[in-house]
A and B are shown apart, each in its own frame.
Chain A
Amino acid sequence: MLYMKLYIDQISEGYVILITGLLIVFGALLLLTAFFKFGLPVLLYIYKIITKGRDKKIKDISPNVNEQFTGEIAAAISTAIHLYLKEQHDEENAVLTIKQARKLYSPWSSKIYGTHNRLR
């Protein structure tokens, strides 16, 4: 009987954890959502007021300057880059074989010449 009681208690505690846990998880992520939806723009706005336009990085890229730069041009450039990067190398055989020279004697590697030309 004691075991049964323990068992039921566990289940009811489980439900408590289930409900509260889910609520907390939702609450936490809801809070994050709310912050990034409303809080962040306010923060950034305040930052902008404080720094008073010192921050010009976003303005640097104004759409008016690049009016002539259309998507077609971008596509052409990127295609060119792609082709260049892809095709700058020929396919080469990676297997190297060293063939033995047929000539058995060659004065190139002869030691006897080495003994003649001593440095003075």
Chain B
Amino acid sequence: MKKLFIIFSVLSLLVFIRPALGINTNSNAQSTLPVSTVEQVEENSSESFVDEAFDGIKQFYSYTGFANAEGGNLIMIFIGIIFIYLGIKFDYEPLLLIPIGTGVILGNIPFVAGNQTGIYETGSVLNYLYFGVVKGIYPPLIFLGIGAMTDFSSLIANPKLMLLGAAAQIGVFATFLGALYLGFNLPEAGAIGIIGGADGPTAIFLSSKLANGINILPDGTTVKNLIGPIAIAAYSYMALVPVIQPPIMKLLTSKKERLIRMKPPRAVSQKEKMIFPIVALLLTTFISPSALPLLGMLFFGNLLKESGRTERLADTARTKLIDIVTILLGVTVGASTQADIFITKDSMLIFGLGAISFVIATMGGLLFAKFMNLFLKGDEKINPLIGAAGVSAVPDSARVVHAEGLKADKNNYLLMHAMAPNVAGVIGSAIAAGIILSFLG
């Protein structure tokens, strides 16, 4: 091993000092000589050997990342590292940011096209894993896990909070309109709008159906492939919920409103919990059948949890299964940000629209909560802060609401109340996705 290493280093040293020694032979003429002539110590063959080695190393170098790196790749790798840093240091959704950040690095390692390496090259391993994103397979599986995790009891106890989840969906439609004004096509705008739903799987599902780079518009052009930018925007803003939401909450609510205490939700019987997924499944999917893969899996997962007989299945769905899918989804979505495809004007616009959509969705929820308070009296009044949890981003936005509530009043625990609009937001954004899909799909 040591000898090999010495030989290799001597050879490479030779190659590097060759120009300095002034040996400059025509390599093309001699490159046809076989390498097996190493034992002949003639001047001629050793020359050719050095040339061959030099050519090999040159070719090897042309395949390395150093030769192929472009500014875009380096920027994206830097962004990937920032994602990982944010996930580790500030604990912003590390389960998402660390796989995505790693994926961003993976997808931006420079390579020579045509060797089935990159995520967009047919037949590469990453491409096969990416299949689940492109065809919208991963999102429903994630929803299955979310359903098996979610406790809908606070929503069942106080059904009127469901409207807050609907109010926040104004972010979806406002962004949709904004995207149209910026010149996106209808399907593309629909896919961009769903960022306002603050729900990563839903965003990926809808963009894989509408803005997948395969569909053909009525006027003959193909839609752009926006899955990568949309997914990254959705997930990064979801991770940034603790940064985006609090200023808006403070802006739109008065100190007095933030102090409102809500009465604790009533106890919900197991029977009600069992009926909820079935009835909600029937009602929502009858209204919006296009959202069937998402809503169906969500309520199926919840039924597994609440039925009391399928604890094993529920346990798998909310732990192992969702973990596996999250890993695959995170890495492939991250890797889909290959610089030459990702760094475009469209992506920048999508990021801008995404931020605005989160702001509008939060405002919609808060203002609607204040609006509802006009009609509610006494201890029925709701704390408008929980309206902000109407953007889904489960459970981060509920946690943010809780933290903000605690800042105003140290003994006001809003978490359980905030969970109700939070899960309603999941349902609402899935329905909104179904509606957009049925209009534009």
Which A residues contact B (CB, under 8 angstroms)? 6-7, 10-11, 13-15, 17-18, 20-22, 24-37, 39-40, 43-44, 47, 58
| Cβ-defined contact, A21 with B436, below 8 A | yes
| Cβ-defined contact, A37 with B287, below 8 A | no
Which B residues contact A (CB, under 8 angstroms)? 155-156, 159-160, 162-163, 165-167, 169-170, 172-174, 176-177, 180-181, 183, 185-186, 189-190, 219, 269, 271-272, 275-276, 279-280, 283-284, 287-288, 424, 427-428, 431-432, 435-436, 439-440
Q: Which residues of B contact A14 (CB under 8 A)?
A: 176-177, 180, 186, 189
Q: List 25 A-B contacts (CB under 8 A).
A: A13-B186, A14-B176, A14-B180, A15-B177, A17-B173, A17-B435, A18-B176, A21-B173, A21-B176, A24-B431, A25-B432, A26-B166, A26-B167, A28-B428, A32-B162, A32-B280, A36-B162, A36-B276, A36-B279, A37-B159, A40-B272, A40-B275, A40-B279, A44-B269, A44-B271
Q: Which residues of B contact A28 (CB under 8 A)?
A: 166, 283-284, 287-288, 428, 431
- The total of interchain contacts (Cβ-Cβ below 8 angstroms) comes to 105
Contact of A37 among B160, B180, B271, B440 (CB under 8 A): B160
Pairs of residues from A and B, 4 with the lowest C-beta to C-beta distance, nearest first: A36-B159, A29-B166, A14-B180, A33-B159
Whole-angstrom CA separation of A33 from B428 in the bound complex:
12
Q: Which residues of B contact A20 (CB under 8 A)?
A: 435, 439
Which secondary structure characterizes the binding site on chain A?
helix
Other than the given A17-B176, A29-B163, 7 more pairs (CB < 8 A) read: A10-B185, A18-B174, A21-B176, A21-B436, A25-B432, A29-B166, A35-B283
Give the residue name and chain of the B residue nearest to A3 (CB). Answer: B219
Q: Which residues of B contact A29 (CB under 8 A)?
A: 162-163, 165-166, 424, 427-428, 431
A43 with B284: in contact, given A14-B177, A29-B428 (CB under 8 Å)? no
Q: Which residues of B contact A40 (CB under 8 A)?
A: 156, 272, 275, 279
| Cβ-defined contact, A24 with B287, below 8 A | yes
| Cβ-defined contact, B173 with A18, below 8 A | yes
Which secondary structure characterizes the binding site on chain B?
helix
Q: How far is the CB of B174 from chain A (nearest CB, A)?
A: 8
Q: Which residues of A contact B173 (CB under 8 A)?
A: 17-18, 21-22
| Cβ-defined contact, A47 with B271, below 8 A | yes
Q: Which residues of A contact B431 (CB under 8 A)?
A: 24-25, 28-29
| Cβ-defined contact, A36 with B156, below 8 A | yes
A58 with B269: in contact, given A14-B186, A26-B166 (CB under 8 Å)? yes
Interface centre among A18, A22, A29, A47 (most CB of B within 10 A): A29
